[in-house]
Amino acid sequence: MTESALLEVSNLSVRYGAVPALRDVSFAVRAGEVVGVVGPNGAGKTTMLSAIMRMVGWSGGDVQFRGESLARRSPDQVARLGIALVPEGRQIFSDLTVGENLRLGTVARRSRGALQRDLDSVIELFPVVGDFRDRPAGLLSGGQQQQLAIARALLADPDLLVLDEPSLGLAPTVIDAVFAALDAIRRAGRTIVIVEQRAQRTIAFADRTYVLADGRIRSEVGPGDAGNGELLRASYFGVDDSSQTHEGAS
């Protein structure tokens, strides 16, 4: 086991019926790190996060969190162990109010102690969440819902924050705001795993980033490689990249 890894994924495999979605994926995340996972559509990024959260079954391998295997856990147990997921497409509860959505974030908290303090800091980070307390969450814009989803996850005071494509469907200025918030979260000391299609942004932001394609990890890159289109294309599309003109992200 990698020394003091918070999250250790070892040879994780997932199949949907006969179709392999994740093949033998291994990587580790240390406390305080920000790790990115990028890759084209269908690479298995969401499957990987679902697998870690135990929302989908494994056909092989293991995931260890703080040294404990997650193999026999249910998703709610994983959440209560300290991993908070910000799902793809936000997936907030549209018929419930913003305030109610936030309260649901606290279900997985391990201690109620600093709740008020966390609530205050979350509202400071995302003012919209404080302003629209009583509004049905479904009426918020995409960007606001994304902020709500992150706020909700933070209220669980997780040891590991996991985000699935936080920039999906958002306008560039909104994406900036989201990443700024993530930066503040990182500076507060949280461990973050961020899964994205927008490779450039993520690679520049994270401490290190894995490239996932076709269910496998192809390579590991650092922030310095953000401008290196060649390297990315090779990782995304395999050896033969002669026909590619633009790197995968939209």
* Separation between Cα atoms, residue 30 and residue 19, nearest integer Å: 31
Q: Does 234 bind another protein (CB under 8 A)?
A: no
Q: Does 168 bind another protein (CB under 8 A)?
A: no
Q: Does 169 bind another protein (CB under 8 A)?
A: no
Q: Does 108 bind another protein (CB under 8 A)?
A: yes
Least distance (Å) between residue 98 CB and another protein: 13
Question: In this complex, which beta carbon is closest to another protein, that of residue 77 or of residue 228?
Answer: 77
Sheet of 160-164: strand order equals 83-86, 160-164, 191-196, 34-38, 208-213, 216-221
Least distance (Å) between residue 230 CB and another protein: 37
DSSP state of 97: B
- Of 95, 242, 246, 250, the residue at the interface with another protein (CB under 8 A) is 95
Question: In this complex, which beta carbon is closest to another protein, that of residue 147 or of residue 235?
Answer: 147
The dihedral through the CA atoms of 161, 38, 4, 81 has a sign that is positive
Query: Which of the stretches 64-72, 98-106, 125-133, 168-176 binds another protein when contact is defined by CB under 8 A?
Result: 98-106
Question: In this complex, which beta carbon is closest to another protein, that of residue 152 or of residue 190?
Answer: 152
Q: Which helix (H) or strand (E) holds 15?
A: strand 5-16
Q: Does 76 bind another protein (CB under 8 A)?
A: yes
Least distance (Å) between residue 8 CB and another protein: 21
Q: Which amino acid does the sequence have at 21?
A: A
Residue 108, phi then psi, degrees to nearest 5:
-85, 0
The token pair at 175 is 């994406």
Provide the mask over 117-146, with x wherever binding to another protein is found by CB under 8 A and - wherever it is not. -------------------x-x--------
DSSP state of 250: -
* Separation between Cα atoms, residue 133 and residue 139, nearest integer Å: 12
| Dihedral angle, C-alpha 193, 197, 202, 207, nearest 10 ° | 40
Question: In this complex, which beta carbon is closest to another protein, that of residue 93 or of residue 216?
Answer: 93
Contact of 220 with 35, CB cutoff 8 Å? no
Chain residues in the site for another protein (CB under 8 A): 53, 55, 74-76, 79-80, 84-85, 87, 91, 93-96, 100, 103-105, 107-108, 136, 138, 152, 156
